[in-house]
Amino acid sequence: MLKRIVLLFLVAAGVALVGACSQSKGRTVLETSRIADEAKPGTVLIQTTYVASVSVPAVTYHEANMNALLQDAQAALAQGMSEQEVVDAVLEEMLSNLETYLVPTNQMMTVDAQIDGVGSGFFVTPDGYIVTNAHVVTDDPESLKWALAENGLTQFIQQDVQDFNEALGGGATERQIEMLKQAAVNFYVKYMQIGDISRSVAVHLGANLPGITSTTKPVAAEVLTNAVGEPTPGKDVAIIKIAQENCPTLRIGDDKALNVGDNLYPLGYPADATFFPAFDASSINEPSLTAGLVSSKKQMAGGWEVIQTDAAIRGGNSGGPVFNKYGEVVGLSTFTLLDEQGAQAEGAAFVIPMTVVKEFLQRANVTPAESQTAKLWSEALDLIQNERYSVAKEKLSQFETLRPGVPAVAAKKQMAEKAILDGKDKSGPSMVLVAGVAGAVVVVVVVVLFAMRGRGGKMPMPPAGGQPPQIPPTENPQLPQ
């Protein structure tokens, strides 16, 4: 009987312990909102800035060619063309063949040009290693030259347009202005000289400031040169690092387990939705989640695989995590295709799978690991879901002690505090405490039982060779409900 009593208590205590832990060991399909919540602290905005001194030559007319053009204009007037028709024809010819009529001089004009690009990324280790796309943090020289010409020389081109319009008495048409802009860019790119180009990469982390709901705080990042791939059609992956601890990591999943028709959820900072002028500055901290399906798996020319999805992926999403239904990262948002009109083709977004990403993590000697902040965050979300707001608040406070200034954490903490004030808190003794009490009861019972036997106390035992003691029957016996 003693063994049965002890066994019953142990089973009861064991049930309490298993009940407390079994769900955490399971692999649960998450609600879409939970996927977004879990990922927000660990998904970051990445800004790459290029600065260079750019010099372009002043110009003068090519005298012989200009004289020939003017003679043609005079001949056209003599043949009966109107003055406006001749002016339009001359401008069309000059703007279409600018280098025929303008030549560079030895006089150079110099400006400090700066261009910025943004993308997304996510933490894979507590000590600040981040995964993103290679094209987010690098650029090929020719593309960079064009970007500097178009963006860094804006002031020169604007001045050219202003002078051009004034020369025409303010009568330049929209088409003529656009032709001038493009002609000026082509001219400057051909003749400009670019000094040393410096590159800086910054990771924007959420930070709460007094009087401001939230803003972003840039932290310098190092690009690991031995772990940078090539932009599409290459393996467009890069590993970067910031010098910080307790970074909130994301869970890594298995892209090989994905099948056509499975759900995918890209998260990131698309430039149009992140920097729209009408939005409050605090919205920069809020990544955007979209949803779609695995449309197909395609083989790249190099023999490796990419995942096609119909989920919306736009500029700025690049390098951001793509999740499966369990909230695990299975790839990176990387590129889209364009239709015949140059617009983004519908349903033609592509994801580099984590299988490829792991090659670059190995190059960098980086092993993904869950951070304490990520664990606290996930536990807090579980508690909030169960309306245990007081305990959730404690978890969030622990998170903020390790890593202060994360807007998503601050927002959840404020929500928990409000729920507590509204009387919605259902926090009670934790399952760990209940299991501990149950274990203590088992120990006490065992000690008492053995003490009783030590003092001669007797437990009901069947007589030798006889029947076991009978328990008096009760009326209408019922099983416990």
Tens of pLDDT along the chain (481 residues) come to 444 433 333 333 333 333 333 343 457 999 999 999 999 999 999 999 999 888 889 999 999 999 999 999 999 999 999 989 999 999 999 999 999 999 999 999 888 888 888 999 999 999 999 999 999 999 888 888 878 877 778 888 888 899 888 988 888 899 999 999 999 888 988 898 888 889 999 999 875 544 445 556 799 999 999 999 999 999 999 999 999 999 999 999 999 999 999 999 999 998 754 554 555 555 566 789 999 999 999 999 999 999 999 999 988 899 999 999 999 999 999 999 977 777 777 889 999 999 999 999 999 999 999 999 999 999 999 999 999 999 999 999 999 999 998 989 999 999 999 999 999 999 876 544 444 444 544 444 444 444 444 444 444 444 434 443 443 444 443 433 3
Burial class (CB in 10 A: 0-12, 13-18, 19+), 294: buried
pLDDT for the residue numbered 54: 86
Provide the token pair at 430: 């934790």
Whether 120 contacts 317, CB under 8 Å: yes
Instruction: Please state, in angstroms and rounded to a whole number, the distance separating the CA atoms of residues 65 and 69.
Output: 6
- Please name the amino acid found at residue 381: L
CA distances from 440 to 26, 448, 454 (A): 28, 12, 21
* Alpha helix segments (H runs only) across 26-123: 32-39, 63-78, 83-96, 98-101
Q: Is 144 exposed, middle or buried (0-12, 13-18, 19+ CB in 10 A)?
A: middle
* CA neighbor of 374 nearest in space, from 357, 347, 355, 398: 398
Tokens 């290693």 sit on residue: 129
> Model pTM?
0.74
Task: Report which of 131, 42, 116 is spatially closest to residue 319, judged by C-alpha positions.
Answer: 131
pLDDT tens-digit readout, 288-329: 999 999 999 999 999 999 999 999 998 889 999 999 999 999
- The pLDDT, as a whole number, for residue 480 is 36
Where does 162-290 show beta strands of DSSP type E? 193-194, 198-209, 212-228, 238-241, 263-268, 288-289
Distance CA 308, CA 287 (A): 22
Q: What is the pLDDT of residue 6?
A: 37
Give me the pLDDT at residue 147, please. 82
Show me where the domains of the chain are located: 49-123+135-198
pLDDT value of residue 320:
97
Backbone angles phi, psi at 269, to 5 degrees: -120, 75
**What is residue 5's predicted lDDT score, i.e. its pLDDT?**
39
